[in-house]
Amino acid sequence: MSRVCAGAFSLSLDGFGAGPDQSLENPLGVNGMVLHEWAFKTRTFRTMFGQEGGETGVDDQFAARSFENVGAWILGRNMFGPVRGPWPDEHWKGWWGANPPYHVPVFVLTHYARAPIVMEGGTTFHFITDGIESALRQAQAAAGGKDIRVGGGVSTVQQFLRAGQIDEMHLAVAPVFLGAGENLFAGLDLRALGYVCAERISTANTIHLIAKKQR
């Protein structure tokens, strides 16, 4: 049976998963890129973007682990791009170029309908306008028993946490403060929702935390 997971989700020490004011110049919000420096150094992420080299230690093991057995992704619209409101045209097809790093069906939450986009490498973006339950059902059908990864952003992960639908969450806490942006823990009581910290490993670049929901 498919598990629902959030993997390699980077946070600041003060709980922010993205900075404010997302734009083309700042896809993760102002200062948001610093949260992901641990990942950018790994072989897994460098290979994903066609680069050579990269570190192969614990950080890389967690990065690789976040992609294992994933059969479908769910993203919020802001993770797909900075376009707001009705789609002005069909031009924008994501941040990642012709061959996105997903290679499986991706279900994008949005209020505005759009036809699916078939990309290179096995990625197809489907745009879901009727909420997270519908997105989850369609992702489960597409995943074929493999896991479903909720990729973010913060609001999307929060919705799935509130619904008790995330089975396991890997948080990578960067040693920085953002001070502003989107705070993952705002308005959430993870203890009351049944989540416990099941694993903790520190590296020079980040602290890896695995939170699991007790069933």
State how many domains the chain has. Answer: 1
User: What spatial distance separates the first Cα and last Cα of the chain, rounded to whole Å?
Assistant: 15
Question: What pLDDT, on the 0 to 100 scale, is given for residue 9?
Answer: 97
Q: Give me the percent of the chain exceeding a pLDDT of 90.
A: 87
pLDDT in tens, 150-199: 998 999 999 999 999 999 999 999 999 999 999 999 999 999 999 999 99
Question: What pLDDT, on the 0 to 100 scale, is given for residue 23?
Answer: 87
CATH number at residue 117: 3.40.430.10
- pTM of this structure: 0.94
pLDDT in tens, 30-78: 999 999 999 999 999 999 888 899 999 999 999 999 999 999 999 999 9
In a domain, residue 146? The reply is: yes
In a domain, residue 171? The reply is: yes
Question: What pLDDT, on the 0 to 100 scale, is given for residue 48?
Answer: 86
The pair of structure tokens assigned to 14 is 């003060």
At residue 2 the predicted structure's pLDDT band, cuts being 50, 70 and 90, is confident
In whole angstroms, give the CA distance from residue 137 to residue 13.
34
Question: What pLDDT, on the 0 to 100 scale, is given for residue 140?
Answer: 97
Q: Are 149 and 102 in contact (CB under 8 A)?
A: no
Question: What pLDDT, on the 0 to 100 scale, is given for residue 56?
Answer: 96
Omega before 181 within 30 of 0, i.e. cis: no
Helices (H), 12-131: 37-40, 43-48, 58-65, 77-80
Question: What pLDDT, on the 0 to 100 scale, is given for residue 69?
Answer: 96
In a domain, residue 19? The reply is: no
User: In this model, does residue 1 exceed pLDDT 80?
Assistant: no
CA–CA distances in Å: residue 215 to residues 16, 162, 165, 167, 212: 27, 15, 11, 9, 9
In a domain, residue 91? The reply is: no
Q: Cβ atoms within 10 A of the Cβ of 200, count?
A: 11
In whole angstroms, give the CA distance from residue 61 to residue 102.
18
H/E stretch holding 16 reads: strand 16-18
In whole angstroms, give the CA distance from residue 7 to residue 167.
11
Write the DSSP string, 167-208.
Answer: SEEEEEE-S----SSEETTTT--TTTTTEEEEEEEE-SS-EE
Residue 197 lies in domain = 4-13+35-82+99-213
DSSP code, position 66: T
Question: What pLDDT, on the 0 to 100 scale, is given for residue 49?
Answer: 82
In a domain, residue 103? The reply is: yes
In a domain, residue 60? The reply is: yes
At residue 114 the predicted structure's pLDDT band, cuts being 50, 70 and 90, is very high
In a domain, residue 90? The reply is: no
The pair of structure tokens assigned to 129 is 């306008």
Question: What pLDDT, on the 0 to 100 scale, is given for residue 215?
Answer: 75
In a domain, residue 176? The reply is: yes
pLDDT in tens, 124-139: 999 999 999 999 999 9
